Amino acid sequence: MNDYEAKQERRRERLRARAERLHAEGVARVKRGDDALHLIPLGQPILIGHHSEKSDRAYRNRALNNIGKGYELQTEARQVAARAEAVGTGGISSDDPEAGAIMIARLVAIAIFTAELVVIFGIVEHQFVGVLMYP
């Protein structure tokens, strides 16, 4: 394994660890908010005008915000995990010692594709001479 591959592997592992950490934190936040809401008796209304109204609303909002933030963290964890899996697939890096060979292979493939298109368009143009008229 050369330095470039080691660097990519370190980045991949760093992103995977971050994804796991975000996922665990998101699950914990959702559980914390859910546990807080389960402490409220089922069907218990907010007592309007009661001295506990303000703190009850704040308590419920904190619980709902924890649940929302937990789902956001889980979404971010999925995005980071996708980035970790995509490491090394984004193109040709100047750090890659095999970059020259990769570029030559891509140029050859493009040249072959272009030559095939020239042949195809030549056949199509020959068959439709005089049929396709442009204004």
Dump pLDDT digits (tens) for 14-70: 999 999 999 999 999 999 999 999 988 888 888 898 888 988 899 999 999 999 999
Q: What is the pTM of this model?
A: 0.69
For the chain, the domain total comes to 2
Question: Residue 113 sits in which domain range?
Answer: 98-135
- Within this chain, do residues 31 and 75 fall inside the same structural domain, yes or no? yes
pLDDT of residue 95: 73
- Within this chain, do residues 115 and 131 fall inside the same structural domain, yes or no? yes
pLDDT digits (tens, 9 = 90+) for 102-116: 889 999 999 999 988
- Within this chain, do residues 7 and 68 fall inside the same structural domain, yes or no? yes
Tokens linked to 77: 């964890």
Find the helix packing angle between 3-38 and 53-85, rounded to 10°. Answer: 160
Rounded mean pLDDT of 78-88? 93
- Within this chain, do residues 11 and 36 fall inside the same structural domain, yes or no? yes
- Within this chain, do residues 62 and 40 fall inside the same structural domain, yes or no? yes
CB 47 within 8 A of CB 53: yes
- Within this chain, do residues 50 and 106 fall inside the same structural domain, yes or no? no
DSSP state letter for 98 = T
Per-residue pLDDT band for 129 (boundaries 50, 70, 90) equals low
What gap in Å lies between CA 82 and CA 79, rounded to an integer?
5
- Within this chain, do residues 56 and 122 fall inside the same structural domain, yes or no? no
pLDDT of residue 75: 97
